[in-house]
Amino acid sequence: MNFFDRLADRIASVDSVVSVGLDPDPARIPDHLHDHDLPRWAFNRRIIDATHEHAAAFKPNAAFYEDPDGWTALRETVAYAHGKDVPVLLDAKRGDIGNTARKYAELLDDDGMGIDAITVNPYLGRDALEPFLSREDKGIIVLCRTSNPGGADLQGLELETGEPLYERVAALADLWNANDNIGLVVGATAPEELEEVREIVPDIPFLVPGVGAQGGDAEAAVEYGLADGVGLVNSSRGIIFAGEDQGEEFAQASGEAAKRLKKRLNQYR
């Protein structure tokens, strides 16, 4: 089974397309966890315990782990999520050439990090993504139309064909999808563009960010983000910091936030 087959099973088992972003900003981790050897891991474990029954996937962002203790915390996080039968998608936005790309892709290997999927940047072209795409059982989630306001600076540039660059990226991803392991990042903050990309690639699942703290369109995220019922709608800060002012009870609020988002999205499934 490839990643999206496994994801489909997970979605069915928990009746949810919620991706919980695990971005443990040390400045926002509750004070009582800072005495732990690995505060980020201590935080993530409690979030996973509180949210896993509502999570189709967990999505840690590599930026919050890129130091020695952080990588250790990430390894523990991945293993613990897998122990709960939840797949892990690393939001790393990798994209490089030659040996560098091959080393980055080792994060997908069991003796690397053992993650189930990873986000990649297509700016360097097909050869830069080959070391990732060749992992047939892993999910390779290609940046297409991101949710940040500045995403349009390049992604919205009009090509000679009249199409914006993000639409060309979607079409190329479809061509590169020989192993049926590609997904696309398409943000919920521009629902009309979500619809446009879905028309170009009817069968590719999307990872849709921007529904939580960024205020994206939840209905559009579900209507256009899922391909045959498979896809992910991510919320990070809106879930993991929902109980930021509740001290040792913070994780309970995160669980409730994940449950509410699951219910909200399921209205449109």
Give catalytic residue positions. 93
| Tokens linked to 55 | 């999570």
Phi, psi of 89 (to 5 degrees): -110, 115
Residue corresponding to tokens 């994780």: 251
Alpha helices in 59-135 (DSSP H): 68-83, 98-105, 126-133
Residue 24's nearest CA partner among 39, 2, 4 is 39
**Residue 232, Ramachandran bin (φ over 0: left; ψ between -120 and 50: alpha; else beta):** beta
User: 177 and 4 in contact (C-beta within 8 Å)?
Assistant: no
Give the Å distances, CA to CA, from 242 to 54, 109, 235, 267: 15, 33, 11, 22
Nearest to 252 by CA among 265, 239, 264: 239
Question: For tokens 């809106």, what's the residue?
Answer: 238
Cα separations in angstroms, 100 against 46, 51, 91, 92, 131: 34, 35, 17, 14, 10
